Structure 1
């Protein structure tokens, strides 16, 4: 049960870190340096947290899913704020 809460917390952390980065990414032109930067800057922190929590590489898809979800949510928020003025 403890491992479940640890991996859930890690996924939630990845999601929360990537929401503001997804928001900022949405303001950049696609495939520019800034666009790549905002997508990849959280990866070292997520890897560090995963290793410190004691999880193997088998949990990478879960943390990656949290990061992608955060990017998508942040981009959605940016687009919605742009459309509403």
Structure 2
């Protein structure tokens, strides 16, 4: 159950960050900051929920997938 919680949080947070990341030029300082912005949330959550170290590659993959999907989704906005 703990692995599922960390996985969902990692994916959702990175979906949002991926959406925000597209506003910045690739390889700029802010682009790098946004890519790594989920780490201060995911790492303590993973440690607090005591997930095994062997699940770290899964969380990294979910972070990358979330960033990619988040940057490619057409998000609905309140503007018309």
- Shorter-chain TM-score bucket reads 0.7 to 0.9
Q: 1 or 2, which has the higher helix percentage?
A: 1
Give the paired residue count.
76
Runs (4+) off by over 2 Å: none
RMSD of aligned residue pairs (Cα, Å)? 1.6
Counterpart mapping for 1:1-85 below 5 A: 5-77=1-73, 80=74
Unaligned segments of structure 1, at least 5 residues: none
Could you tell me the TM-score, scaled by structure 1's length? Answer: 0.80
Unaligned segments of structure 2, at least 5 residues: 76-80
Could you tell me the TM-score, scaled by structure 2's length? Answer: 0.84
Conservation of the 8 A alpha-carbon contact between 2:2 and 2:51 = no
